[in-house]
Chains A and B, each alone.
Chain A
Amino acid sequence: MKHFLPFLITIATVVLVLLGWVQSGVVARERMRSSRTPDEAARLLLSQVQARKWDFAHTLLANTGEVEKAAFVRDVAGSNGSLLTYASLEKFDVWPLHNNGREATVRVKLHYSTAVGPLDDVRDLQVEHQGETWRVRWPTTTIAKVAPQVIPVNYLRWDVINRNAEDDWGVQNVDSPQVRILSMNALQRPDRIVILGEIVNEDTIPAYINVGATLLRPDGSPIAQETSFDKISHVLLPKQVSPYRIDFPGIKLDQVKSVRMDAKAMLVPASADPVIEVNRQKLETDALGKKVLRGDLVNQSGQIVNIPHVLAAYYDANGKVIWVSDGYVDQELQPQIPVAFAVDVPDDVAPKVHNYHVVVNHYDINNAS
């Protein structure tokens, strides 16, 4: 016993550690390093991107000589405070599309965790057979550059001086801006109720707005209360219109007797810049067969817009708002350089869309307040 037991304990411990080793997927990972299939090559590359091992990931490319490392990193990790710089690749899915033995195409779906929520990106990667292994051929993209120039900006800005707390009660404060809900439509979606519509700033000063909705039962008691959160442009310049959307997950329309809308408007400092042009807007079908509204964003000002956010309202033939969708653009907007965007439109809504209106919201690192 006294000689047997130490050996038993030692061997049992080693066996258990080995079992743990196998369970942790180490063996599978080691196998992947050999890149014996296009699928494994893509997985290996993406696992290195996930671990932010840029040097090694760059050496794995089939066209290392053609793709600058900086350009590759910019492509997968963003630059200039764009959304990708606030993102980490959380997981990815890879599936083959085509393979002729020498070249193959794999489709990868990248699931990023970002500062504004999850972000999915679907890309088709070309993979080449080189010697014993497969390697990903990274697309070479040329980055558009703006010629040095001066962009004149007549800087329009509103500042607010509020009354002091010590001021007498009668001392007048500046009134809140006047805003109006232009339209409201309640829709039943498979897993939720969606309240959507448009709101306009009717005043002559900028307004900070927020739209909330309360679903009421037949007896008038509230069922749930939600706000538009980021599905609205919170700061509206005079006469500007923004779509809004409020989601109520897990609630059915037949439970609801009425909806109480609440549009709050506040006076806040604001700037009229930058002006962002929305070009080439078209409803299309993407590679996955989903309906999307595509277009280009062009920043007409001279400052970089770090994170653009696209909000789109869709109208039916009667001009009624039938859907509102939104999407964050993972690239920054350099002055004058078009950047593509695409936002989803549900398949059942797309055939009814007669017109649409796109609003661009934005976040700038240097002007967050």
Chain B
Amino acid sequence: METGYLRRPIPLAAIVLLALVVHGPLLTMQLPLTTSYDANLHIFFASHYAHHWFDPWNEKWFAGFSQTTYPPLGHQWIAIFSYIVGLREAYALVQLIAVVLLAIGVYRFSRLWVSERASSYAAAFSVFLGAVAFLVYSAGQLSTMLSAPLYLLALPYFYDWSRSADGKGLLKGLVLIWAAASVHHVTLIFGSVLFALPVVWLACIDRHEGRSVAAVLTRAIMFAVVAGIGVGVILLPYWIAIIRHPIEQIPIPHASRSNLLLNLNYLTNYFFVPYGALILALPFVIWIGSANRRLRPLLFGFWVAFLFGLGGTTPVPKWIFGRAFEILTFERFTLSAALLALPIVGLLAESLLDRYRAVAAVGLSAAAAATMAIAMGWLAWSPFHTLSGLNVDSVVEFLNRNGHDRYRYLTLGFGNALPKVSTYANANSVDGEYNSARLLPEMTHYGSAQLTSAKFFGTAGMESVRAMLKHANNYGLKYVFVHDPYYEPMLAFAGWRKIETYDSGTVTVWSKEDVPPARPIQSDAMPAPWEGLLWGTLPLGSSILAILLALLLPDRVRATERVVEFPAPAGERVYAREARG
């Protein structure tokens, strides 16, 4: 029995408290809403659910698009909380829940591989992880951040079921998987390879004596099949949407797909910042991970995720994903790689603490804090600035007065402030900040993303804007808001006229006189009412069921633990075996 606090595991409650203390104030300040790329997008989606829970057809973007193209659970929870605290605060609350759940998830996942003490260190490090700070405060990827912990929480149940046919594990694992898929399906798809395969491998290694590998694999496959069917049903409207309209648009460039070594800013953004001090631990992760048979599956998972996270730096993602390489963004894989490395890093921390005590504690704490500090500092130092903090009040006010909402509008140079306009304006736009739902030919025929940021996509972007403006009368596109004078010549030559100016000329409003009021654009992407019903009930139901199961069917308390000291005296080290008793 260890006595010194440096030789004891950190209690889970303390880790939760740590997550709340570190991220609580930052999220209370609603930092992601002004610093991140996607936070306003998630609020926009949530706002639609808050007003039209059972109708996923959202007319505010792309002259109408279906929100069934994006799993709804995170947005629906924001919508629910928004009735109590308002949309922006609800977003911060759900994001905070995600960060806390992530720490718990890392702890539970690490317990599969390493001791309780090492797991607690891994969980504590997850609070300060650069990738987490990057995804929460810079990328604003709420869905990845919320689904990853749910998935991590499901994996130990998957392990239990596969290894020892634990029925309760099967039930809880499945429900958590369904909830995770309801938040973000992409995380689940890649997670099944990067996280689940190592766990199956581990279950085979840890199988009870006399049990065959085939039995373990059969149970794992059974789990996967049932989980797949469940995901298929819960997200049925999504599959219908994706089958009806597969993503066939011309690929849109993204920096995470480039060779990071050719651009220091990209390298910093997608490597140094997300990994932070973890980079120093990488040699040890490989060394320790290779040294033990039980950790090898984890190491392989980490390595593959690490290579994916490097984007176009290596040819591996292109080989594996083929054409999908041009659609995916790769920053999310750095989170996966970091999460897969954390159990081994926890183990490393455990040995350092044993050997160097307070010095190691100070060093590790400083490294963790520095990692997060650099990630937060990068928000200010980075050359990639978002426009999410742009004041759009005057734009919203214009659109909501004098019947201006009878027409559609377009913003140019608003970047990711567009969702902020769309959330609070009654009028509809032909643009949108969500690439997968773009079906208008004026957008899909060109290799550019949002019209509002068209100039960054060069000729493709400007041609896309041109095509849209050419069809302005068809879409009832009368008003264009400009936050970058670059776009003004095209508008002037196309017949738009400047009618109002806001914020000392930083935002101008342009109008074309002969545009008729907008009419609904017919689309075969409109979901049937029954799809709206499913969408409004099953994903939320899966999360409520997960909460109920967590409350009504508590896990058994771990009985014993056998941990071998690091470094082990001789032979192959065993770090934790049958850790869950």
CB distance from B342 to the nearest CB of A (A): 18
CB distance from B325 to the nearest CB of A (A): 12
Cross-chain contact A16 with B488 (CB below 8 angstroms)? no
- Interface-located stretch among A20-28, A68-76, A135-143, A146-154: A20-28
CB within 8 Å of A: which of B467-504? 469-474, 485-490, 492-495, 497-499
Q: Which residue of A lies closest to B260 (CB)?
A: A20
Cross-chain contact A165 with B286 (CB below 8 angstroms)? no
Cross-chain contact B462 with A113 (CB below 8 angstroms)? yes
CB within 8 Å of A: which of B493-538? 493-495, 497-499, 512-514
CB distance from B284 to the nearest CB of A (A): 10
> Which of these, A6, A83, A111, A208, contacts B287 with CB under 8 Å?
A6
> Which of these, B290, B313, B315, contacts A5 with CB under 8 Å?
B290
Q: Which residue of B lies closest to A246 (CB)?
A: B470
Taken together as a complex, chains A and B put the C-alpha atoms of A116 and B313 apart, in Å, by 35
Asked whether any CB of chain A lies closer than 8 Å to the CB of B245, the reply is no
> Which of these, A3, A19, A266, contacts B315 with CB under 8 Å?
A19
Asked whether any CB of chain A lies closer than 8 Å to the CB of B459, the reply is yes
Taken together as a complex, chains A and B put the C-alpha atoms of A268 and B513 apart, in Å, by 9
Residues of B contacting A115 in the complex (Cβ-Cβ under 8 angstroms): 455, 462, 486-490
Asked whether any CB of chain B lies closer than 8 Å to the CB of A92, the reply is no
Cross-chain contact A24 with B259 (CB below 8 angstroms)? yes
Asked whether any CB of chain B lies closer than 8 Å to the CB of A325, the reply is no
Asked whether any CB of chain B lies closer than 8 Å to the CB of A56, the reply is no
List the 3 closest pairs (A to B, CB-CB), nearest first.
A5-B290, A369-B498, A16-B314
CB distance from B62 to the nearest CB of A (A): 20
Central interface residue in A90, A226, A369, by most chain B CB within 10 Å: A369
Contact mask for chain A residues 69-91; partner B; CB cutoff 8 A; 1 contact, 0 none: 00000000000000100101010
Cross-chain contact A5 with B296 (CB below 8 angstroms)? yes
CB within 8 Å of A: which of B269-326? 286-287, 290-292, 296, 299, 303, 306-307, 310, 312-316
Asked whether any CB of chain B lies closer than 8 Å to the CB of A17, the reply is yes
* New A-B contacts (12) at CB < 8 Å, excluding given A20-B312, A24-B261, A368-B488: A1-B290, A2-B572, A6-B287, A111-B459, A210-B514, A227-B472, A229-B466, A230-B493, A234-B494, A264-B514, A307-B489, A363-B489
CB distance from B476 to the nearest CB of A (A): 13
> Which of these, A9, A86, A234, A369, contacts B495 with CB under 8 Å?
A234
Cross-chain contact A16 with B497 (CB below 8 angstroms)? no
Taken together as a complex, chains A and B put the C-alpha atoms of A166 and B314 apart, in Å, by 66
Cross-chain contact A227 with B493 (CB below 8 angstroms)? no
Cross-chain contact B286 with A117 (CB below 8 angstroms)? no
Taken together as a complex, chains A and B put the C-alpha atoms of A62 and B497 apart, in Å, by 46
CB distance from B379 to the nearest CB of A (A): 26
Central interface residue in A83, A234, A365, by most chain B CB within 10 Å: A234
Asked whether any CB of chain A lies closer than 8 Å to the CB of B402, the reply is yes
Cross-chain contact A225 with B459 (CB below 8 angstroms)? no
Q: Which residue of A lies closest to B460 (CB)?
A: A113
Asked whether any CB of chain B lies closer than 8 Å to the CB of A63, the reply is no
CB distance from B127 to the nearest CB of A (A): 28
Asked whether any CB of chain A lies closer than 8 Å to the CB of B458, the reply is yes
Cross-chain contact A369 with B259 (CB below 8 angstroms)? no
Taken together as a complex, chains A and B put the C-alpha atoms of A268 and B316 apart, in Å, by 59
Asked whether any CB of chain A lies closer than 8 Å to the CB of B463, the reply is yes
Residues of A contacting B474 in the complex (Cβ-Cβ under 8 angstroms): 225
Taken together as a complex, chains A and B put the C-alpha atoms of A3 and B473 apart, in Å, by 69
Contact mask for chain B residues 351-394; partner A; CB cutoff 8 A; 1 contact, 0 none: 00000000000000000000000000000000000000000000
Cross-chain contact A210 with B303 (CB below 8 angstroms)? no
Asked whether any CB of chain B lies closer than 8 Å to the CB of A319, the reply is no
Cross-chain contact B296 with A20 (CB below 8 angstroms)? no
CB within 8 Å of B: which of A207-244? 208, 210, 212, 225-227, 229-230, 232, 234
Asked whether any CB of chain B lies closer than 8 Å to the CB of A331, the reply is no
CB distance from A2 to the nearest CB of B (A): 4
Chain A: number of interface residues, binned into ranges: 35 or more
Looking at chain A's contact residues, is the secondary structure mostly helix, strand, loop, or mixed?
mixed
CB distance from A225 to the nearest CB of B (A): 6
Asked whether any CB of chain B lies closer than 8 Å to the CB of A281, the reply is no
Taken together as a complex, chains A and B put the C-alpha atoms of A21 and B487 apart, in Å, by 36
Taken together as a complex, chains A and B put the C-alpha atoms of A194 and B494 apart, in Å, by 18
Cross-chain contact B290 with A229 (CB below 8 angstroms)? no
Taken together as a complex, chains A and B put the C-alpha atoms of A230 and B485 apart, in Å, by 18
Cross-chain contact A226 with B470 (CB below 8 angstroms)? yes
Residues of B contacting A10 in the complex (Cβ-Cβ under 8 angstroms): 286
What are 14 residue pairs bridging A and B, where the CB atoms are less than 8 Å apart in the complex?
A: A2-B292, A6-B287, A20-B313, A24-B259, A24-B262, A86-B486, A111-B459, A114-B462, A117-B463, A208-B495, A212-B473, A227-B470, A268-B497, A363-B488
Q: Which residue of B lies closest to A118 (CB)?
A: B459
Asked whether any CB of chain B lies closer than 8 Å to the CB of A361, the reply is yes
Given contacts A165-B402, A363-B489, contact A118 B463 (CB under 8 A): yes
> Which of these, B310, B472, B499, B513, contacts A369 with CB under 8 Å?
B499
Residues of B contacting A113 in the complex (Cβ-Cβ under 8 angstroms): 455, 458-459, 461-462
Cross-chain contact B315 with A229 (CB below 8 angstroms)? no
Taken together as a complex, chains A and B put the C-alpha atoms of A234 and B486 apart, in Å, by 20
Cross-chain contact A23 with B315 (CB below 8 angstroms)? yes
Residues of A contacting B488 in the complex (Cβ-Cβ under 8 angstroms): 115, 363, 365, 368
Taken together as a complex, chains A and B put the C-alpha atoms of A20 and B306 apart, in Å, by 15
Residues of A contacting B291 in the complex (Cβ-Cβ under 8 angstroms): 2
Asked whether any CB of chain B lies closer than 8 Å to the CB of A309, the reply is yes
Cross-chain contact A20 with B315 (CB below 8 angstroms)? yes
Asked whether any CB of chain B lies closer than 8 Å to the CB of A13, the reply is yes
CB distance from B462 to the nearest CB of A (A): 6
> Which of these, B259, B303, B314, B490, contacts A117 with CB under 8 Å?
B490
CB distance from A230 to the nearest CB of B (A): 4
Given contacts A20-B313, A208-B495, A212-B473, contact A86 B489 (CB under 8 A): yes
Residues of B contacting A5 in the complex (Cβ-Cβ under 8 angstroms): 286, 290, 296, 299
Contact mask for chain B residues 28-67; partner A; CB cutoff 8 A; 1 contact, 0 none: 0000000000000000000000000000000000000000
Cross-chain contact A19 with B314 (CB below 8 angstroms)? yes
Residues of A contacting B286 in the complex (Cβ-Cβ under 8 angstroms): 5-6, 9-10
